Amino acid sequence: KTILLSHIFACIWYIISQIHDDRNNWLVYFELQDESVLRKYLFSMYYSFSTLFTVGFGDIHSVNDLERIITILLMLFGVFFY
């Protein structure tokens, strides 16, 4: 369950960067837009795990309001999940 849940949230985190402003999202901010899909997925999974199951490290974080909303929901989900 944990891996599947993290995968789903990682996919959501990545999709948000694709459908929102192309110049103002976490991929551009961290200069990952030209990286491979696998590397983007790894960063997304890392973000998902660190946000869902810890307090988050802050090295990968939201950059725009939509990402902040998703982050808040992800944190709340993590609190209620445990």
End-to-end CA distance of the chain: 12
Its pTM stands at 0.86
Share of the chain above pLDDT 90, in %: 44
Looking at residue 36, its pLDDT comes to 95
Amino acid at position 35, single letter: E
Question: What average pLDDT is seen over the chain?
Answer: 88
Q: With 80 as the cut, is the pLDDT of residue 4 above it? A: yes
